[in-house]
Amino acid sequence: MTDDQILSAFSDDYATARDRFRQAAAAAGWSLVSHDTGETGPRGERLTIDVAESVPTRSDQPAFVLSSGLHGAEGHFGSAVQVAALETIAADRSRTEATRAVFVHALNPYGFAWTRRCDARNVDLNRAFRWPGMTDASPETAYGRIDALLNPPRPPSRRDLFRLRLLAAALKYGQAALKRTIASGQRSHPNGLFYAGFDVSPLQVWLDRELPRWIGGASTVVHLDLHTGLGANGDATIIIDYPVTDDARAWWHERSGQATVRESLRDPQAYTASGSLGQWCVARSAPTQYRFAFAEFGTFAGTRVLAGLRAENQAHHWSPPSDPKIAESKARLRELFCPGDRDWRLRAVRRALTMIQQTGC
């Protein structure tokens, strides 16, 4: 793809991104189904999860699933990648002859439309999946000790010395322990960051019904879920957060290309989110060989991203509706998860397209 084609795949808002995705799917000759969530966006628009599927040649062919927008504000980048991939595949339809491809656009359309990472219940959907025998986030977590730092009950302010206070917390609890406490998921503070909730999410109910139909009789499934924010600027990382066999590990490394493969369970510096989409997909799909990975594309330093998440969460819960800090915090969050920098967009999308071709189609 040319630079201009890649840059034009980015959309300024959810509604435009949804329309672009639908148009690209139609141009590629794929079928398209929309699931209405019953929610509305800032301009009263319907919020839908849209699923585009290539035409399968047989019921048992391998399946490739590419999903985006689980963390709503990250949907701008994920949508651009899916549009670019559809336009690339439309130009070379032989790429899906051996693979059944399913692109799922905006798993969290509420967060995408309203520029939030979480859903309408403040739930981080990548901490909210439930299945028998899972290790769940406990209501009695260490998160309670730091909620006042992460979610003070007041509108955001640039004068609250958050980064210094975060540094003090890291010195007190240890940096690795603090990272795990913040990001692993918590169920004790509904207005806090990384809230996992208690109930099975509507998204899980819908996916539990639709996923078997998407993968058909495939004995092998590869699923990439697109994310941004974690890692060095522009870097691509394949993140696996469940136990894998040696064969599966070798498979991911062989197809990683320019991406780094990271297994959360084997990295002492990493955290593992309780109740993630990947863990659930693998657990519910046995004995099918379900190879799931989060395709993560780095933007800014972790403390900067966390500060932006904190400010938006404060503005959402504690600012009056007319407060300009709400719009400011959302613009800041969007830049953190989908930088406007031309070089970042070109590099990240090209790496994502390479990852898609090497692992799926």
151 part of a folded domain:
no
Distance (Å) of CA 54 to CA 27, 159, 337? 11, 52, 29
How far apart CA 17 and CA 106 sit, in angstroms, is 9
Any idea what the CATH number is for the domain that residue 235 is in?
3.40.630.10
Residue 139 is predicted with a pLDDT of 44
Dihedral angle, C-alpha 259, 264, 268, 272, nearest 10 °:
140
Is 240 inside any structural domain? yes
* Residue 139, domain member (yes or no): no
* Contact predicate 221/282, CB 8 Å: no
Token code pair at residue 352: 């994502």
Four-residue CA torsion sign, 202, 55, 283, 21: negative
Which pLDDT score is estimated for 94?
A: 72
* CB neighbour list of residue 33: distance below 8 Å, 6 or more residues apart: 50, 51, 53
Q: Is residue 231 a part of any domain in this protein?
A: yes
Q: Are 187 and 196 in contact (CB under 8 A)?
A: yes
Is 78 inside any structural domain?
Answer: yes
Nearest one of 279, 238, 228 to 117, comparing CA atoms: 228
Residue 141 is predicted with a pLDDT of 64
Is 162 a member of any domain? no
121 belongs to a structural domain:
yes
Tokens encoding 346: 């070109």
Mean pLDDT by 10 residues, the chain (361 residues): 96 98 96 97 97 84 95 98 94 77 97 98 96 65 88 91 95 90 91 93 97 90 97 93 94 92 84 89 88 97 96 96 95 98 97 94 72
How far is the C-alpha of 189 from the C-alpha of 151, rounded, in Å?
9
In a domain, 328, yes or no: no
- Both tokens of residue 290? 């379900």
Helix segments in the chain, DSSP class H: 3-8, 14-27, 75-91, 109-114, 147-150, 162-173, 175-183, 202-215, 246-254, 277-285, 302-318, 324-337, 342-359
Domain assignment of residue 264, given as a range: 3-129+196-303+334-359
Total domains present in the chain: 1
